[in-house]
Structure 1
């Protein structure tokens, strides 16, 4: 496996300016990327429920991620000077798009780099957003082979708001999804292993979260990665007092968020999270469903129904444990920081932007924001695609900018121009006209005329056959080019999106085997310098 390191963001983008230290952007964050020791010092003055969190993590890992290296890291978290590098993602089918894998790799490599700098335990933690309830965002993925991209989906109705960690997957539907996904991939020496490993996960109580965790175990066991379910009941019990605090400070949370959002937007950075002044940024869990809450003028209400509570009544139900809550994108980062000693948060480009409106919300709870570091991104290239890039003098960036599509369109236009029936028609017309000048065509004898017409017809048929043969050969030759370019585009820019935002890691496990991810991790670790980068990986 060969790795080529490239610039991650354009300098003119928000993330690009962030990496360059743009003062107008950095003022929305508490730390820049070089302040590793300052953040570690800040964390040394904060208290965390380390034992309870570690116990909850241990229980989860015993069920879904029984890795000795992970247990070792969990025990290290109990140490008072231990800090963490954290990132998270939804529990997508088969782990979802490949950016989930890339984020985890970024978490692991950054934790190792920081530990060498800080000389204290740095634990890599990936949390699965088990509280998320939008099934249409997690019940599908895409696999790619040659020029074909196929959507694999577990059919379910999105009429209930059940969290991913509570939504059980019908075993028959799970098996069907595995079969469907692999059916669209080329048979390789690893296909049998891949199918058997996925089918071995299927059980009666399988959920999107547990399936995601099981697959991640196979991909990252031995690396020291620690997994968290954000909706783990044991974790929720630890968070209960923090949720109560979030209800008590809700007016301040909403005001801090809306004010910071307005400031952020006024500088031309947009509105990364929709502003609704009544949004409480909390969800109520009731009867295995999740409902967004609103708060205004001492009244709490469920946004999509008529349920209403006086503020004192609602807080009392939260304090007693009768009401269970979960976070949205605004309060989740703060909850994460109250629960864990987060030194660095590994973010996607979208997360980097919306964290820019959270600084005063963190401060309400006596915490500064952790360092926010963009994750690495990766484009995986098969040998076939590597060869095609060289053959057509293209780069990955060219494909992302539509150059492969342009070459395909040029090829099609070339075929059409070469396959011009009017040219053959004119040639045939000219030949026939000259053919009529032969003396036999002008003879009075029927035998001469019959002979002339016979060969005239043969000549016409021969020309038509020639035309059809030429057409066929042109299409065959140019079809090879079309297929190569279509396959290249399907791998690098599937459905007009970056590879990591569409394609499942299954496609590459099928061709590269069970150590594909660990080999990629090791290569990225060798290149880790602390600067987020894009890597092109030649498999």
Structure 2
């Protein structure tokens, strides 16, 4: 593999400044991951303070049960869990929603970053550092996770979508998926995957994961299949066993709700004063918690001292809500602003791997960490890649196209190239013909107007129709030219659909199993062998 750094625009000004000008935004974060001293300071703080809410043995036991449930039973995973029980063990964490067949490639790159960052930190500190992938199974937006894309031959991206039977606003981890739904999705992906020496292995992996009756379980099993041998521990934020352990943290989120809301508002105001865009909504009356009522996940707000949802379906005093928590912890879940706090309270997080959007909204939580007597962990930018198949460089050379040209869009270059293939000179010839026709026709119209005014108006209409017919013939001639060069134009289209499908970076659209089917399951190990890069620099991987 040949690796070439390729800038990729995206993300907010805040995330850009975090990566490139950390000193300008340091008040919103917990320390610079590019300063070795910050790693030691964070590790020392965890040695003194971790364990206030959850014991290591209880946490390890909970995670062991969950990883067994999703068949992430690799020897290295059990070693990771045994190490997690040791007092000096630390964690590199990161997470994502549980997409269909793992969702877009960025999920895979996040897991790779977590594993590589954990290895780096362990070597740096001389302490065990465990890679942990946090599945956001408590989220309820089914439409965000129920689909994935694969390249389809000569058609561009093709979407596989799994509709929910009896959709509701319950957590994804508790949204049932039937055997019929799985069979239909598996049939679609089997048809989209081209025949290859690796197809059977890929389909076997997907088939095994589809035995779960919910999307999150299948997602976790697939992540375990891909990364379990590297010691990656999986956890689901909606796991009932984990939720029971989190009760002391939820108590703090409830009893300190007003102070936390003020902390979020204060950080948002500070960001706005520096002209940064606030990346997550901060409700002035928000409780920043969800409560599950009749299978619907309701966002709670504070109104006249009571916790309620916008529609008034539930209403609790603080003590009543605490009673609900003690009796039914599984009914509670975090929103985007309290999840970072929960992660830090549950795990001894040395560093957390985030994408650029996440880096931006985490800035809103800076003061909230302090309210719970926590400290924000080090934030590590997720590694970013585009996989370039062997045929693409040949076409890029053939048409004198760079990676950056493709990122910016090939429309104008493609049109110019096609014009260069036009030996007839269609545009110029038709323009000349129209001009010559008009030059001959207009004197005739003037003479006809003197003969009878109505004839001039009729002649002008006739003139317009003849020009329209010429334009129609020009369009048909251009289509014929495109048809003549159809094979080459398909190559132009493939350059964009492989690297910028739907006008978006490849890693945000395509599914990893397309590439595993082409290059084998060992592709994951090859990507893990790439040099760890903590700068957030996008890299093109020429396969």
TM-score for the superposition, normalised by structure 2: 0.85
Residues 422 and 212 of structure 1: CA distance in aligned 2, closer, same or farther (over 3 Å): same
Distance 1:420 1:11 in 2: 43
3-state SS, counterpart of residue 357 of structure 1 = helix
Residue 261 of structure 2 is aligned to residue 257 of structure 1: no
Residues 407 and 7 of structure 1: CA distance in aligned 2, closer, same or farther (over 3 Å): closer
Cα deviation, residue 46, structure 1: 1.1
Distance 2:84 2:197 in 1: 40
Q: Which has the larger radius of gyration?
A: 1
8 A contact 2:93–2:349 mirrored in 1: yes
Q: Which residue of structure 1 aligns with residue 208 of structure 2? A: 200
Residues 471 and 168 of structure 1: CA distance in aligned 2, closer, same or farther (over 3 Å): closer
Residues 180 and 320 of structure 1: CA distance in aligned 2, closer, same or farther (over 3 Å): closer
Alpha-carbon displacement from aligned partner over 1:58-100 (angstroms, at most 9, x marks no partner): 1111121111101100110001111110000000001011100
Residue 188 of structure 2 is aligned to residue 180 of structure 1: yes
Question: Map of 1:434-473 to 2, 5 A cutoff?
Answer: none
Residues 343 and 394 of structure 1: CA distance in aligned 2, closer, same or farther (over 3 Å): same
Cα deviation, residue 256, structure 1: 0.6
Residue 412 of structure 2 is aligned to residue 406 of structure 1: yes
Q: Which residue of structure 1 aligns with residue 462 of structure 2? A: none
Residues 336 and 12 of structure 1: CA distance in aligned 2, closer, same or farther (over 3 Å): closer
Alignment equivalent of 1:50, drawn from 53, 56, 59? 56
8 A contact 2:292–2:331 mirrored in 1: yes
Residues 187 and 257 of structure 1: CA distance in aligned 2, closer, same or farther (over 3 Å): same
Cα deviation, residue 532, structure 1: 3.1
Distance 1:60 1:265 in 2: 41
Aligned-residue RMSD, C-alpha: 2.6
Q: Which residue of structure 2 aligns with residue 299 of structure 1? A: 306
Distance 1:502 1:260 in 2: 32
Farther off after superposition, 503-512 or 283-292: 283-292
Farther off after superposition, 154-163 or 170-179: 154-163
Farther off after superposition, 146-155 or 110-119: 146-155
Residues 425 and 340 of structure 1: CA distance in aligned 2, closer, same or farther (over 3 Å): closer
Q: Which residue of structure 1 aligns with residue 474 of structure 2? A: none
Question: Map of 1:357-506 to 2, 5 A cutoff?
Answer: 357-402=364-409, 404-414=410-420, 418=424, 420=426, 474-475=481-482, 478-506=485-513
Cα deviation, residue 483, structure 1: 0.6
Alpha-carbon displacement from aligned partner over 1:258-295 (angstroms, at most 9, x marks no partner): 11101111111111111211111100123433111111
Farther off after superposition, 247-256 or 314-323: 314-323
Alignment equivalent of 2:323, drawn from 316, 335, 338? 316
Cα deviation, residue 12, structure 1: 9.4
Cα deviation, residue 321, structure 1: 3.7
Cα deviation, residue 423, structure 1: 5.6
Q: Which residue of structure 2 aligns with residue 339 of structure 1? A: 346
3-state SS, counterpart of residue 44 of structure 1 = helix
Cα deviation, residue 405, structure 1: 2.6
8 A contact 2:390–2:542 mirrored in 1: yes
Distance 2:11 2:179 in 1: 48
Farther off after superposition, 485-494 or 413-422: 413-422
Distance 2:12 2:372 in 1: 34
Q: Which residue of structure 1 aligns with residue 542 of structure 2? A: 538
Residue 170 of structure 2 is aligned to residue 166 of structure 1: no
3-state SS, counterpart of residue 373 of structure 2 = coil
Residues 507 and 268 of structure 1: CA distance in aligned 2, closer, same or farther (over 3 Å): same
Residues 337 and 158 of structure 1: CA distance in aligned 2, closer, same or farther (over 3 Å): farther
Residue 23 of structure 2 is aligned to residue 23 of structure 1: yes
Distance 2:195 2:150 in 1: 14
Residue 134 of structure 2 is aligned to residue 127 of structure 1: yes
Cα deviation, residue 388, structure 1: 1.7
Q: Which residue of structure 1 aligns with residue 68 of structure 2? A: 62
Gaps of 5+ in 2: 434-476
Distance 1:471 1:296 in 2: 65
Distance 2:10 2:168 in 1: 41
Cα deviation, residue 299, structure 1: 1.2
Residues 253 and 405 of structure 1: CA distance in aligned 2, closer, same or farther (over 3 Å): same
8 A contact 1:87–1:345 mirrored in 2: yes
Residues 175 and 59 of structure 1: CA distance in aligned 2, closer, same or farther (over 3 Å): same
Alpha-carbon displacement from aligned partner over 1:230-262 (angstroms, at most 9, x marks no partner): 111111010011111110000001111011101
Residues 45 and 149 of structure 1: CA distance in aligned 2, closer, same or farther (over 3 Å): same
8 A contact 2:164–2:177 mirrored in 1: no
Distance 2:257 2:429 in 1: 77
Residues 316 and 10 of structure 1: CA distance in aligned 2, closer, same or farther (over 3 Å): closer
* Matched residues, number: 493
Alpha-carbon displacement from aligned partner over 1:385-440 (angstroms, at most 9, x marks no partner): 222222223222221111x232223244456784739969999xxxxxxxxxxxxx
3-state SS, counterpart of residue 161 of structure 1 = coil
3-state SS, counterpart of residue 484 of structure 1 = helix
3-state SS, counterpart of residue 292 of structure 1 = strand
Residue 216 of structure 2 is aligned to residue 209 of structure 1: yes
Cα deviation, residue 472, structure 1: 9.5
Cα deviation, residue 227, structure 1: 0.8
Alpha-carbon displacement from aligned partner over 1:204-226 (angstroms, at most 9, x marks no partner): x4211111011112211311111
Q: Which residue of structure 2 aligns with residue 450 of structure 1? A: none
Farther off after superposition, 30-39 or 121-130: 30-39
Residues 424 and 134 of structure 1: CA distance in aligned 2, closer, same or farther (over 3 Å): closer
Q: Which residue of structure 2 aligns with residue 150 of structure 1? A: 158
Cα deviation, residue 322, structure 1: 6.8
Gaps of 5+ in 1: 428-469
3-state SS, counterpart of residue 40 of structure 1 = helix
Alignment equivalent of 1:84, drawn from 87, 91, 110? 91
Residue 254 of structure 2 is aligned to residue 247 of structure 1: yes
Q: Which residue of structure 2 aligns with residue 41 of structure 1? A: 44
Q: Which residue of structure 1 aligns with residue 528 of structure 2? A: 521
8 A contact 1:3–1:537 mirrored in 2: yes
Cα deviation, residue 8, structure 1: 6.5
Distance 1:385 1:122 in 2: 39
Farther off after superposition, 135-144 or 280-289: 280-289
Q: Which residue of structure 1 aligns with residue 198 of structure 2? A: 190
8 A contact 2:392–2:495 mirrored in 1: yes
Alpha-carbon displacement from aligned partner over 1:503-537 (angstroms, at most 9, x marks no partner): 111211111111111211112xxx22543332211
